[in-house]
Amino acid sequence: MSSIFSKRNMVIALIVLAFVIPFVLQNQYYLHILTLACIWSIAVYGLNLLAGFTGYLSLAHAGFFAIGAYSLGLLTVKAELSFWLAFLVAPIITMIIGTFVGIIALRTKEHFFAIYTLCVGYIIYLIIDKWDSLTGGVRGLIGIPSPANIGPISFDTPLSQYYFVLVVTLLCILMVYRIVHSLTGRTFIAIRNSEELALSLGISTAKNKLLSFVLSTFFAGVAGALYGSFIRFIGPEISYTTIMFDFLTYLIVGGIGTLSGPIVGTFLIVLLSQNLQFLQDYRMLIFGPLLTLLIIFSPRGIVGFVLTKYHQHQRKTSAVLKDARAKEG
Amino acid sequence: MLKLNSVTVNYGKYSAVRQIDIEVSEGEIVVLLGANGAGKTTTFKTISGLLKPTGGTVNFEGAPINGKSPDRIVQAGIVQCAEDRKLFPQMSVQQNLMMGGYIHRSKKTQLKESLKEVYELFPILYDKRDESARLLSGGQQQMLAIGRALMAKPKLMLLDEPSIGLAPLVVEQMFTSIQHINKDGTTILLAEQNANAALSIADKGYVFENGRIVIEGTSEELFSNDEIRKAYIGA
Amino acid sequence: ACSNDTTAPTSSVENEGKETNEDAEIVYIGYSGPLSGPAAYYGENTLSGLQLAEEEINKEGFEVNGKKYNIQIVSLDDKYMPNEAAANAKRLVQENKTPIIYNPHSGGIAAMQVFNEQDQFIVAAYSSEPDITQVGNSLTVRIPPTYDGYIEPFTKYAMERFGPKIASLPTATQYGKDWSEALLPYWESKGGEVVYNTAIDFSKETDFFTILTNALKDDPDVLFIGGASEPTAKLAIQARELGFEGGFIVMDQAKLDEMKAISGSYETLEGAIGTMPLIFSDYPGTKPFIDSYQAKFNKDPGSEAGFHYLSLFIFVEAMKAAGSVDDAKLIHEHMQDGIDSLPEDKKVYVVEEIDENGGFNLATQYGVIEDGAVAPVE
Amino acid sequence: MILQTKQLTKQFGGLVAVKNVDFNIEKRKVNAIIGPNGAGKSTFFNLISGVHRPSSGQILYKGEDITHLPANKVAELGLARTFQTTNLFEMATVFDNVVVGHRLRTRSNFFDAIFRTKRLKEEEERCKQKALEVLKFTELSHIGHQLVANISQEEKKRVAFALALATEPEIVFLDEPTAGVNPDETESLAYLIKKMVNQGITVCLIEHKMRMIMDLADRIMVLNYGEKLAEGTPSEINKNEEVIRAYLGGSGASA
Amino acid sequence: MELLIQQLFNGLTIGSVYALVALGLTLVYGILHIPNFAHGALYMVGGYVTLLMMTNFGAHYLLAILVSMAVVGVLSVLMERFVFYPLRHSPPIQDKVAAIGILLFLEALAQLLWGADYRTMPTPYGQVVNLFGLTLTMQRIIIVITAVTVMIALYAFLKKTFIGATIIAMAQNREGANLVGINTSKVAMLTFFIAGALAAIGASLTSPINLVFPGMGHLVILKAFVIIIIGGMGSVPGAILGGYILGFTESLGATYLSNDYKDIIAFVLLVLILTIKPNGIFAKGGV
Ligand SMILES: Nc1ncnc2c1ncn2[C@@H]1O[C@H](COP(=O)(O)OP(=O)(O)OP(=O)(O)O)[C@@H](O)[C@H]1O
Ligand SMILES: Nc1ncnc2c1ncn2[C@@H]1O[C@H](COP(=O)(O)OP(=O)(O)OP(=O)(O)O)[C@@H](O)[C@H]1O
Ligand SMILES: CC(C)C[C@H](N)C(=O)O
Ligand SMILES: [Mg+2]
Ligand SMILES: [Mg+2]
């Protein structure tokens, strides 16, 4: 009983905190960072759905993130579509491209899948970089509008943007939560566990893997579209491997295959690396080893570590309870 | 020669082997009997250093060897021929055998000599010397595993279910070979399900059940033990 | 450190121990640029000019409205990434109230321009990207000149001395592409011929032989090259190895003196035309700048350092004229005054005026390599 | 007779792992397959359950040709299986492991998941009910909440049974269900298998434990080098000279 | 025709560099299953050590390379001991992120110690050689010859010597190797040492034709990773073949298709190879 109480209320408390924090901080810069972290975390949730729950590590996600961002950018800047329509279409375009990539890429497994998608990500980067006439090439795409007003609500202050991104992030987390906790999610987990077993249980692994892949590109696309509308300037580097490694780092540090891992990892690393800025040249000298140590001492990520402790604790308490009961009896 | 003193081995919380005592004297053939999962392989892995005992000591020639790394134990003279053979699948038969002589790698002539001996013992291996290990049949792989162990010129050889999955005829040959090896001066500790054959060549035996030793004695004693006849020999 | 948010990030130039101006107030000037990663050297060069200027300014301090001020540069690393630059700018404004933020790459500048008017800071843009000043941002100052000025004299010189065939191998940045888009049509309009045209990505190319072999297959008379000095020099060297005997048009990011440091001698670069290296320039303030730069950093300054140095003095003068150290708008309005009242000995370059879009207009000099030495072009 | 193989053959490169095997599985009986290691037993299972495509031959289920169906379709028809090496999700609870077993009998997709539709809720409930039911049947109800990583070997085997049963199968194929399990526990697993047959399920199993097989099986097929060596009742097999020589050994070996 | 031959040679040069870097990576990946993303940083350190030996200590180029091989080899071993050994039971993704941490650290360290600026490495073999209308430089010829020699030597070492065979044995069956008396920890260290030394050779040979700077590892590492997967992880011939395939695709693609799109051509080719052969050209375990 107490555990339900605490878990539920923790989540509510965190959400409330997320809503009031701008008033506590009163700091535009932190607001900016928090908004960015929310955006990254959506992409990491996408990655987690595929890598963490379905067991396929895609290294093309920075590419899909960029496709989302560029779709929004091109639709608003070049096609002059209304923002909200573009915001809707961008993830759909990402998913369509994701479907094609997924169909072929999912022929491979394990390392080969990882490298295959790494190549795909790199190809996406090269296309964005080289296809000047469409994407603006290295110059990037400038002048992406922020979200258009909805009636009286406008999104041109950092605060309103933060709330917009926060709401989308929460919706995405809710979506992931529901997927993971539904029969679909159980199916993904079964595939990660053992494709052979899943198949023998009558699960169409091909269909479900593709579904998972496409869904994960959807989240990458949403994150990309948000990013475009928030930074309002995008360049090819957002599809580069650096961003991909960032995603991967957020995911692994937070805890792959856990529900809160992406958000924990993203916020931790983003805030950490921002707070190490004062170290100047020494920043990476500290951050690099810190990252490595974190992995060595907690290979399952922060959330994995906490969960293990939690389970140990539970086991102990239940053992104690059992003992107590045995004594009574 | 080898002495296990109240050895316990855990996998996580689960005790696969509990406080067993085993003694092997020089020149003997000693057999471990027991059902699947009784703890024989675990015991072997512990002796050869692949597992660390949770409790107790393993002494070899008077010195403790528990906690030493597997390669040190091989150097001390104990070589294991594992249940799942652990061959190098893409290497040829001859390469596998040469790797078996790894600890004597500086003595080229001795290696050649040993190689010849192994080929004499198992002529089939000579015919297949350039074949990849993974293409051998189960029986041949088992011979190769034993041959590889012999290349190290061990003082004590651990054989974990050498007859597993082999045709009866091959099993017979196998046991004859084991006797040969033993006569040439190698002490042997053997785990077997095929109690009948094993006891017929062994000096003494231990019977495992659920990780404990429940019966020990000379081959004759075990052979005449009714329970054992019923459980393992099926007479 | 995380909880201690009120302490400003310290600049990499230590301010402690300088006994002057203890009662002076501090004006924070922001800098965001690549201080790690492949572009770190570029970032460090730009920052070094600011640091030198900071040091010199703080010897005396400066007075605005009767109050004494010191400068403090707050530098943050953005790894050449637009979003990091934007985050840094937010941070600088929020924590240090910086009225001016420097950024040396077009992506970061564009990202800052999204909100700099709202957040009221001047983007001190070190980029020759034309868009930077054409978007109509009212708080942008573009420091380096646009390259248009080079097109004509470079073409004239190279075509006359070597011939009409040019192979174009600019760096694969927007700046490089724009440069060649401006140069090549002009080259053709003067009767020249473009025999090869591709961009080289210095951050991805291990060896230039492949590209050069193709570029040289139609025997060009002139190679158009440019980008960071050092890889550009490598490109020139390898062109010579492959038997190229013509001249080079070197775009302004690369500096002839820095290229020579790689090639070992000017002979290899014979016939190259490019901007006059700062060390050979003879504006009123160039010499003192070079001396103090060499004293501090133990190497020759490049133009990045020179421009950053110069611009900071102009900003200080503009602040004085505006009578404000924190009103970005006011400072921006008084940039022309700042330019006008710049002391002679700080004129590393001569900035004539600031145009209505915020771009510095300045006279530039070119140099050519003739007979193994740098010579100015008339 | 519920399932029938005709001249079933599987080749891996040069190796013929299963060779022209004709086998009939009798409804509501325990059909056992024995044979030396590498004889092709697991491969035979893999062929029937659609994991491998046969090189030639036919598989008929209730008269219908299922030779080329993929594994998931085979499972939907009511053929369930367990694996030789237990294959479970170690970091999830027993209950969560078993719930997914009923997935193939549900239709809800990810839209249902996101909008938590009535169908999803109903089906989830059904899966959970099914899980509870099979856990009860396999006598695992008391450990439903434990992580699979923390349960014993024998319990894992039972979870594998439960998982197979959750698919509502007509036949279950059990690949060495008692490997690595001690004699006592082997007996209780054997009892469970009997219980399954009593429920009307057809069982086909691979085992090396002769005493258990002789006790449990209605019919036995012996494979050797991929070929059917013999087929018959336990007592027939026990007496078959060829089988004794190739597999059972015993008196032959010690003589 | 002349153009084709010249470009083939250019492809050979660049392919040699790729192959050298990929070799070290494939050893570590194939045998210990560690995707060592910090390999690019080792490459970079290799370039600096050789350079500093030459400029600061006046060492001859060849001596400098030997020192560099030793230093980077040891650095690589330290990495194994302090990072990958403790992580030996974790899945490879964890190794990957840990390696990224090391990469960030080493790059920052190099920048701190040696500055962010581009440096040139002098070479005693700068001569230009014209052969049959081809333009070669001594350095390039040396790159190709050394690469081929090192590859043959490595192959012979693995196949013909006992120590080399232990590496293969460990790749094929780790416990089996343990059981014949091989100290697997030592073999792991040896493997890392060789990988480090190979990175140092690659960097020392390439630097005279490019530049030495903290970010130089990025130039080759991504491609090297792709190469070892295409070639089949752990396969020495695969890494070599993959390196040359990429080298030739780049040089010929740049010549006959488009320089701007040559990277796309190369990567699309790699994707195609994986689409057709999902397990790489040389399937697993070859060495
Ligand atoms: N790695 C492991 N983790 C957990 N439990 C294990 C592990 N290896 C073996 N066990 C368990 O330890 C017990 C003893 O196993 P062991 O392999 O020693 O038996 P054995 O007597 O050799 O059996 P067999 O005749 O089947 O070879 C078994 O219950 C087995 O399930
Ligand atoms: N996917 C595969 N590729 C190649 N050969 C295979 C494959 N699967 C099995 N084999 C080979 O087919 C033969 C039969 O294997 P199978 O697993 O069916 O044996 P089994 O009778 O189940 O043995 P055990 O009692 O040891 O489980 C063996 O020689 C095995 O090596
Ligand atoms: C030469 C520089 C002024 C160009 C700068 N690197 C840019 O990104 O625009
Ligand atoms: Mg065993
Ligand atoms: Mg089997």
The reported pLDDT for the residue numbered C109 is 92
Gap from E58 CA to chain C (nearest CA, Å): 18
Chain D residues in contact with A184 (beta carbon < 8 A): 108-110, 112-113
Q: Which of A103-112, A319-328, D235-244 has the lowest mean pLDDT?
A: A319-328
Query: What integer is the mean pLDDT of C332-341?
Result: 92
Per-residue model confidence as pLDDT tens digits over D161-191 = 999 999 999 999 998 887 666 666 778 889 9
Q: Which of A31-40, C33-42, E178-187 has the lowest mean pLDDT?
A: C33-42
Question: CB-side exposure of E235: number of CA atoms within 13 Å?
Answer: 23
Query: What integer is the mean pLDDT of B120-136?
Result: 86
Instruction: Report yes or no on A319 lying in a domain.
Output: no
Residue of B95, B99, B159 to mutate when probing chain E, most E C-beta within 10 A: B99
A326 pLDDT above the threshold of 70: no
DSSP string, E94-116: HHHHHHHHHHHHHHHHHHHHH-S
Verify whether the Cβ–Cβ distance A183 to D150 is below 8 Å: no
Per-residue model confidence as pLDDT tens digits over D31-88 = 999 887 678 888 899 999 998 899 999 999 998 999 999 999 999 999 998 886 667 7
More confident position, D232 or D150: D232
State the average pLDDT for chain C: 87
Residue A79 tokens, joined: 């096609």
Query: What integer is the mean pLDDT of C196-201?
Result: 90
Instruction: Report yes or no on A316 lying in a domain.
Output: no
Three-class secondary structure of residue C370 per DSSP: strand
Separation in Å, CA A61 to CA A51, A75, C269, C323, E263: 11, 21, 44, 51, 20
More confident position, E99 or C146: E99
Phi then psi dihedrals of residue B43, to 5 deg: -60, -45
Q: Which of A140, A158, A284 is nearest residue C107 as measured by Cβ atoms? A: A140
Q: Tell me what percent of the residues of chain E surpass a pLDDT of 90.
A: 42
Q: Are residues D89 and D157 in the same domain?
A: yes
Contact D99, A173 (CB under 8 A): no
Instruction: Report yes or no on A287 lying in a domain.
Output: no
A85 pLDDT above the threshold of 90: yes
Return the closest-CA partner of residue C253 out of C280, C223, C227: C227
Query: Who contacts D209 (Cβ-Cβ below 8 Å, separation ≥6)?
Result: B36, D178, D186
Instruction: Report yes or no on A220 lying in a domain.
Output: yes
How many domains does the structure of chain A reveal?
Answer: 1
B168 pLDDT above the threshold of 80: no
Alpha-helix runs per DSSP H in chain A: 2-25, 28-47, 61-73, 83-105, 110-130, 132-135, 158-180, 183-193, 195-200, 205-231, 241-254, 261-275, 283-297, 301-328
* Residue minimizing CA distance to atom 4 of ligand 3: C127
The reported pLDDT for the residue numbered A323 is 57
Q: Are residues D68 and D8 in the same domain?
A: yes
Verify whether the Cβ–Cβ distance A232 to C95 is below 8 Å: no
The reported pLDDT for the residue numbered A111 is 77
Q: Give the DSSP H/E element, type plus range, for residue D135.
A: helix D118-137
Three-class secondary structure of residue C75 per DSSP: strand
What does R_g of chain C's alpha carbons equal in angstroms?
Answer: 21
Q: Are residues D109 and D158 in the same domain?
A: yes
- C63-74: burial string, b at 16+ Cβ within 10 Å, e else: ebeeeebbbbbb
- Residues in chain B, overall count: 235
State the average pLDDT for chain E: 87
Q: Are residues D44 and D98 in the same domain?
A: no
Residue E137 tokens, joined: 């430089």
Write the ipTM: 0.84
A211 pLDDT above the threshold of 90: yes
Cα separation, C250 vs C180, in Å, equals 11
Q: Write the burial class of residue A20 (CB in 10 Å: 0-12 exposed, 13-18 middle, 19+ buried).
A: exposed
Residue D255: band (very low, low, confident or very high) from pLDDT cuts 50, 70, 90: very low
Q: Which of B75, B87, B91 is nearest residue E181 as measured by Cβ atoms? A: B75
- Residue D129, domain CATH: 3.40.50.300
Three-class secondary structure of residue B221 per DSSP: helix
A2 pLDDT above the threshold of 70: no
Instruction: Report yes or no on D97 lying in a domain.
Output: yes
Return the closest-CA partner of residue B231 out of D178, D238, D233, D182: D182
Instruction: Report yes or no on A131 lying in a domain.
Output: yes
Residue E1: band (very low, low, confident or very high) from pLDDT cuts 50, 70, 90: low
Residue E283: band (very low, low, confident or very high) from pLDDT cuts 50, 70, 90: low
Ligand 3 atom with least separation from CA of C128: 3
Instruction: Report yes or no on D196 lying in a domain.
Output: no
- C15-47: burial string, b at 16+ Cβ within 10 Å, e else: eeeeeebeebebbbbbbbbbbbbbbbbbbbbbb
Cα C173 to middle of ligand 3, angstroms: 8
Verify whether the Cβ–Cβ distance A115 to E226 is below 8 Å: yes
Q: Which span out of C46-60, C106-120, C129-143 was modeled with the highest average pLDDT?
A: C46-60
Find tokens 């509308």 and name the residue.
A229
Residue C14: band (very low, low, confident or very high) from pLDDT cuts 50, 70, 90: very low
- Provide the residue range defining the domain that includes D106: 85-168
Can you state the angle between helices D118-137 and D153-166, rounded to 10 degrees?
130
- Residues in chain E, overall count: 287
The reported pLDDT for the residue numbered C339 is 92
Can you state the angle between helices A183-193 and A205-231, rounded to 10 degrees?
110
Verify whether the Cβ–Cβ distance B90 to E286 is below 8 Å: yes
Per-residue model confidence as pLDDT tens digits over D183-224 = 667 788 899 999 999 999 999 998 877 778 888 999 999 988
Query: What integer is the mean pLDDT of A12-19?
Result: 86
Verify whether the Cβ–Cβ distance C206 to E210 is below 8 Å: yes
Q: Tell me what percent of the residues of chain C surpass a pLDDT of 90.
A: 48
Chain B residues in contact with D182 (beta carbon < 8 A): 35-38, 209-210
Cα C349 to middle of ligand 5, angstroms: 83
Return the closest-CA partner of residue A66 out of A148, A122, A146, A1: A122
Per-residue model confidence as pLDDT tens digits over A255-314 = 888 888 899 999 998 988 888 877 766 778 888 888 888 888 887 788 888 877 777 776
Per-residue model confidence as pLDDT tens digits over E103-115 = 989 998 998 899 8
Q: Are residues D118 and D229 in the same domain?
A: no
Q: Any idea what DSSP says for residue E259?
A: S
Q: Are residues D137 and D213 in the same domain?
A: no
The reported pLDDT for the residue numbered E182 is 92
Three-class secondary structure of residue C364 per DSSP: coil
What does pTM read for this prediction?
0.87
Tell whether A238 lies on the interface with C, counting CB pairs under 8 A: yes
What does R_g of chain A's alpha carbons equal in angstroms?
Answer: 21
Contact B69, B49 (CB under 8 A): yes
Q: Give, in degrees to the nearest 5, the angle at Cα D109 between D107 and D110.
A: 165
Cα separation, D107 vs D118, in Å, equals 12
Cα separation, A232 vs A225, in Å, equals 10
Neighbours of chain B (3+ CB pairs under 8 A): D, E
Return the closest-CA partner of residue E183 out of E169, E195, E197: E169
The reported pLDDT for the residue numbered A150 is 82
Return the closest-CA partner of residue E6 out of E137, E117, E139: E137
Per-residue model confidence as pLDDT tens digits over A236-255 = 889 988 899 889 889 988 98
The reported pLDDT for the residue numbered C80 is 83
Nearest residue in chain A measured CA to CA from C136: A143
User: Strands of D219-224's sheet, edge to edge?
Assistant: D79-81, D171-175, D202-206, D30-34, D219-224, D227-232
Cα D225 to middle of ligand 2, angstroms: 10
Q: Are residues D184 and D218 in the same domain?
A: yes
Per-residue model confidence as pLDDT tens digits over E161-181 = 888 889 888 888 888 999 999
Q: Are residues D140 and D67 in the same domain?
A: no
Q: Give, in degrees to the nearest 5, the angle at Cα E211 between E208 and E215.
A: 140
Per-residue model confidence as pLDDT tens digits over E129-171 = 887 777 788 899 999 999 999 999 998 998 888 888 898 888 8
B234 pLDDT above the threshold of 50: no
C338 lines ligand 3 (CB under 6 A): no
The reported pLDDT for the residue numbered A321 is 58
Chain D residues in contact with A175 (beta carbon < 8 A): 114
Separation in Å, CA C327 to CA A278, C100, C318, D43, E268: 26, 10, 11, 80, 53
How many domains does the structure of chain D reveal?
Answer: 2
Cα separation, C64 vs B57, in Å, equals 84
Per-residue model confidence as pLDDT tens digits over B31-51 = 998 876 688 889 999 999 988
Q: Are residues D180 and D164 in the same domain?
A: no
Cα separation, C246 vs C166, in Å, equals 10
Phi then psi dihedrals of residue C222, to 5 deg: -135, 140
Chain E residues in contact with A118 (beta carbon < 8 A): 222, 225-226
E41 pLDDT above the threshold of 90: yes
State the average pLDDT for chain D: 85
Contact E62, E191 (CB under 8 A): no
Q: Give, in degrees to the nearest 5, the angle at Cα B67 between B158 and B72.
A: 60
The reported pLDDT for the residue numbered A26 is 79
The reported pLDDT for the residue numbered C306 is 93
Residue A25: band (very low, low, confident or very high) from pLDDT cuts 50, 70, 90: confident
- Provide the residue range defining the domain that includes A181: 16-249
